[in-house]
C-alpha cells in the first residue's frame, strides 16, 4: 500500500514538474520578452523607456541569464505565490485570477459528481435489462454524448433556452449577486446555477462510464458466484448490488484520473460559450493580448489542480478497491 502511494506521489510530482516546464515554454514561446512588452505598454501610455533602463530592467528580472536560470527564478517566485504582473490589467496575476480558479474547479467537480450520479444507475440498468428499450435509449444517448463536443452542446442549449424560454442560460450567478461578497446567498446561487454547465461538461464522460459500467457488469453477471447467490435465495436486487456492482465499480474511481483533465479542458471552452466567470475567458483574453505571464500561470495552476485532483482520486480508489491495497504486499 505504501509502495503504491509513493509511486503515485512520485508520478504526481513528475507531472507537476512537466506542467511547470510546459507553462514556462508557453510563456517563452512568443517573440520578445516581458520587458519588451512592458516597454511597448509604457510607450503606448506615453512614457519613454531608454535602452539603458531596459537593459537595467532586464538584469533586474534576470532576463539576460540562460534559459534554465530563468526557469528556476520563475519557479522560485511561483512557489512563493508571486506570479508576476498581468500586463493588460496592471495588477498582480494572483489578484486577477482570484476566485476564478476555484470556480473552475467547482464546475469541474460538479461535472464529475453528476457523471457518477447519472452513470451508476443507468449503467446498472443497462446491464441488468440488456437489450431493453431503456438500454437502447441509454446507448443512443451515450453515442450522442460521445459525438457532440461540449461547446456545441452549450451553443445548442443556449439557443434553445433563448428560443423556448427566452432566458439566458449562461452564467454562474444571478445578476444581482455577481458582485456581492461571498455568503450563504451567493453560495446557494452558485449551486443553483451549477447543474447546467456540469451536465454539459459531464455528458461525454457519463456516456463513456455508462458503456464501461455496462460491459463490466455484464461480465460479472455471468460469473458462477452470481448464480450461487441467486440459488441461495437472495433477492434479485441484493444479488446484483451486493457483489457484481461492487466489482464493476472499479473503473469509476480509476477513470477519474482521465476524466478530470478532460473535464477541466472542456470547462475552458464551455465557459467561453456560457459566459461563466472561470479562468477560461481570462486565459483566452490573455493569449490574444500576448499577456504570457497571466496565460502561463493559468496553464500551470490548472495543471497542478488537476494533478492534485487525480492524486486524491487515486487515494479514493485505494480505499474502494482492496486489490490495490493488497497488490503491493506481495
Partner 1 sequence: MWWRFRRHKLAMVGTAVVLLFYGAVLFADFLAYADPSASEAQRSLLPPQRIHWRLDGRLQPHVYGLAGKRDPTTFKRVYTPDPSQKVPVRFFAQGFEYRLLGVIPTTRHLIGVEGARPEDTLFLLGTDEQGRDLWSRLMYGTRTSLTIGLVGVAFSLVLGVMLGGISGLYGGATDTVIQRVIEIVRSIPTIPLWMGLAAALPNDWTVMQVYFAITIIISLVGWTELARVVRGRFLALREEDFVTAAELAGSSQMRIIVHHLVPSFLSHIIAATTLAIPAMIISETSLSFLGLGLRPPAISWGVLLQQAQNIQALAISPWLLVSAVPVIIVILALNFMGDGLRDAADPYGQ
Taking the complex as a whole, how short is the minimal distance between the CB of residue 121 and partner 1, in angstroms? 24
Closer of 155 and 177 to partner 1 (Cβ): 155
Taking the complex as a whole, how short is the minimal distance between the CB of residue 5 and partner 1, in angstroms? 16
The dihedral sign for the CA sequence 13, 318, 316, 144: positive
Distance between CA atoms of 262 and 6, rounded to whole angstroms? 25
Q: Which of 316, 307, 314, 318 is nearest to 105 (CA)?
A: 307
Taking the complex as a whole, how short is the minimal distance between the CB of residue 206 and partner 1, in angstroms? 16
Closer of 146 and 320 to partner 1 (Cβ): 146
Closer of 63 and 148 to partner 1 (Cβ): 148
Closer of 143 and 188 to partner 1 (Cβ): 143
What is the separation, in whole angstroms, between the first and last Cα of the chain? 10
Distance between CA atoms of 283 and 299, rounded to whole angstroms? 8
Taking the complex as a whole, how short is the minimal distance between the CB of residue 54 and partner 1, in angstroms? 23
Taking the complex as a whole, how short is the minimal distance between the CB of residue 125 and partner 1, in angstroms? 21
Taking the complex as a whole, how short is the minimal distance between the CB of residue 117 and partner 1, in angstroms? 23
The dihedral sign for the CA sequence 17, 21, 22, 24: positive
**Alpha-carbon distances of 158 from 120, 164, 285, rounded to whole Å:** 28, 10, 22
Closer of 25 and 117 to partner 1 (Cβ): 25
Helix (H, G, I), strand (E, B) or coil at 59: helix
Interacting residues with partner 1 (CB under 8 A): 11, 14-15, 18-19, 22-23, 25-26, 29-31, 143-144, 146-149, 151-152, 155-156, 158-159, 162-163, 168, 170, 257-258, 261-262, 264-266, 268-269, 272-273, 283-284, 287-288, 290, 295-296, 298-299, 302-303, 306-307, 310
Q: Which set of grid coordinates corresponds to residue 134?
A: 431503456
Torsion of Cα atoms, 18 then 19 then 21 then 26, to 10°: 140
Taking the complex as a whole, how short is the minimal distance between the CB of residue 57 and partner 1, in angstroms? 23
Distance between CA atoms of 107 and 193, rounded to whole angstroms? 10
Closer of 26 and 49 to partner 1 (Cβ): 26
Closer of 247 and 289 to partner 1 (Cβ): 289
**Alpha-carbon distances of 211 from 5, 109, 115, 301, rounded to whole Å:** 29, 21, 12, 32
Taking the complex as a whole, how short is the minimal distance between the CB of residue 144 and partner 1, in angstroms? 8
Closer of 234 and 324 to partner 1 (Cβ): 324
Grid-cell match 495543471, residue found: 303
Q: What DSSP string describes 135-189?
A: HHHHHHHHHHHHHS-HHHHHHHHHHHHHHHH------SS-GGGTTSPSSHHHHHH
Amino acid at each position: 500500500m505504501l509502495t503504491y502511494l509513493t509511486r503515485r506521489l512520485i508520478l504526481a510530482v513528475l507531472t507537476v514538474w512537466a506542467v511547470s516546464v510546459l507553462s514556462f515554454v508557453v510563456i517563452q514561446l512568443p517573440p520578445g520578452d516581458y520587458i519588451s512588452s512592458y516597454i511597448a505598454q509604457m510607450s503606448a501610455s506615453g512614457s519613454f523607456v531608454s535602452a539603458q533602463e531596459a537593459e537595467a530592467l532586464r538584469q533586474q528580472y534576470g532576463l539576460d541569464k540562460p534559459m534554465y536560470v530563468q526557469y528556476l527564478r520563475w519557479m522560485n517566485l511561483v512557489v512563493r505565490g508571486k506570479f508576476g504582473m498581468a500586463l493588460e490589467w496592471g495588477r498582480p496575476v494572483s489578484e486577477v485570477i482570484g476566485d476564478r480558479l476555484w470556480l473552475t474547479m467547482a464546475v469541474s467537480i460538479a461535472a464529475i459528481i453528476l457523471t457518477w450520479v447519472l452513470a451508476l444507475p443507468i449503467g446498472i440498468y443497462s446491464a441488468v435489462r440488456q437489450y431493453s428499450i431503456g438500454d437502447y435509449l441509454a446507448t443512443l444517448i451515450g453515442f450522442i454524448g460521445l459525438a457532440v463536443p461540449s461547446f456545441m452542446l452549450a451553443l445548442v442549449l443556449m439557443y434553445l433556452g433563448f428560443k423556448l424560454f427566452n432566458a439566458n442560460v449562461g452564467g454562474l450567478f444571478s445578476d444581482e449577486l455577481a458582485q456581492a461578497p461571498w455568503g450563504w446567498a451567493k453560495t446557494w446561487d452558485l449551486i443553483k446555477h451549477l447543474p447546467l454547465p456540469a451536465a454539459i461538461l459531464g455528458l461525454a464522460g457519463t456516456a463513456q462510464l455508462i458503456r464501461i459500467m455496462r460491459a463490466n457488469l455484464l461480465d460479472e453477471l455471468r460469473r458462477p458466484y452470481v448464480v450461487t447467490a441467486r440459488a441461495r435465495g437472495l433477492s434479485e436486487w441484493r444479488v446484483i448490488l451486493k457483489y457484481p456492482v461492487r466489482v464493476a465499480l472499479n473503473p469509476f474511481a480509476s477513470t477519474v484520473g482521465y476524466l478530470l483533465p478532460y473535464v477541466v479542458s472542456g470547462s475552458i471552452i464551455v465557459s467561453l460559450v456560457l459566459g461563466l466567470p472561470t479562468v477560461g475567458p481570462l486565459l483566452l483574453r490573455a493569449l490574444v493580448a500576448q499577456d504570457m505571464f497571466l496565460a502561463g500561470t493559468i496553464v500551470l495552476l490548472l495543471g497542478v489542480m488537476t494533478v492534485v485532483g487525480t492524486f486524491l482520486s487515486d487515494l479514493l480508489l485505494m480505499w474502494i478497491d482492496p486489490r490495490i491495497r493488497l497488490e503491493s504486499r506481495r
